[in-house]
């Protein structure tokens, strides 16, 4: 099943279409290439003069451990965890820099970082090949923006940043447990419905943003309606996480190359950033400041 998640929907990513990990078959009528000048390449036994292998050689050959994902260059769960940890650590460190360096009155400077992060995020999402440097650059810029934003909100509502972090972690843990236990199954119908709701939500928020620029206020980010919208936003972030988990499982199952673990890390980071931002907005509304 091809994902609707834009991060994982690039052609060939997390699939066997591009003959990842040696799964591609030779085209019909094409002879397999010779391996160098090996004089035994066409020998049935791989030994000089057609001699069969000895019992000891056979025992050594078949007694050796089979090559695992690490030996064949395929993505493993450990790869995804490691790359995700690196990406999130970069985001957190950049956020800490913004928190301690950027004055509250200079918060607008974080908007430049947010815009640059958005551009890089779009490039990474629609780029066929994986570029770890771009992914880490996105994490650094996004982290800088989140750090400055969190500090500005925290001056008005003490402790909101910690509450948002804990809320994001709780959502991640709950979705992971529900997914691994089978309570959430990523089916084509589930994906279609979720993506449709997400598209409607994004369009609604974009229209609200434009209206706000002209002085109008539909109340989508304040009051009771703002609480409902905030809860929907967090639910959509959880939905994106399930797509991420499913694509990671599919990638490992189909032998995606190790470099695809960076794409998985980027997808998880995007989903967590979405949840954190929605959590900040929701908490701000609940505490009486939108």
The per-residue pLDDT for range 149-172, each reduced to its tens digit, is 999 999 989 999 999 999 999 999
For residue 2, pLDDT beyond 70: no
Of 100-114, 162-176, 195-209, 255-269, least confident by mean pLDDT is 100-114
Per-residue model confidence (pLDDT) at position 163: 95
Per-residue model confidence (pLDDT) at position 289: 52
Please state, in angstroms and rounded to a whole number, the distance separating the CA atoms of residues 215 and 206.
14
Q: How confident is the model at residue 215 (pLDDT cuts 50, 70, 90)?
A: confident
Please state, in angstroms and rounded to a whole number, the distance separating the CA atoms of residues 109 and 269.
22
Q: What is the pTM of this model?
A: 0.75
Distances (CA, A) of 286 to 72, 148, 170, 236: 51, 21, 18, 19
């Amino acid at each position: 099943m091809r994902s609707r998640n834009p991060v994982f929907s690039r052609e060939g990513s997390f699939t066997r279409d591009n003959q990842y990990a040696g799964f591609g078959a030779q085209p019909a009528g094409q002879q397999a290439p010779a391996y160098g000048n090996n004089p035994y390449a066409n020998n049935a036994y791989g030994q000089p003069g057609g001699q069969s292998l000895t019992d000891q050689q056979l025992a050594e050959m078949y007694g050796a451990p089979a090559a695992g994902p690490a030996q064949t260059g395929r993505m493993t769960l450990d790869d995804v965890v490691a790359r995700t940890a690196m990406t999130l650590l970069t985001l957190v460190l950049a956020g800490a820099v913004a928190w301690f360096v950027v004055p509250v009155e200079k918060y607008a400077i974080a908007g430049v970082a947010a815009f640059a992060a958005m551009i890089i995020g779009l490039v990474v999402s629609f780029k066929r090949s994986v570029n770890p440097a771009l992914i880490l650059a996105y994490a650094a810029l996004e982290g800088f923006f989140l750090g400055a934003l969190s500090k500005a909100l925290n001056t008005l509502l003490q402790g909101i940043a910690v509450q948002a972090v804990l809320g994001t972690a709780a959502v991640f843990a709950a979705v992971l447990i529900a997914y691994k236990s089978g309570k959430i199954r990523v089916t084509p119908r589930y994906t279609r419905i979720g993506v449709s709701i997400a598209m409607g939500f994004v369009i609604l928020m974009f229209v609200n943003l434009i209206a706000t620029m002209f002085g109008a206020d539909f109340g989508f980010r304040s009051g009771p309606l703002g609480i409902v919208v905030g809860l929907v936003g967090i639910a959509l972030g959880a939905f994106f996480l399930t797509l991420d988990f499913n694509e990671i499982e599919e990638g490992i199952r189909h032998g995606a190359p190790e470099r695809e673990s960076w794409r998985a890390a980027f997808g998880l980071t995007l989903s967590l950033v979405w949840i954190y931002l929605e959590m900040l907005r929701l908490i701000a509304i609940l505490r009486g400041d939108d």
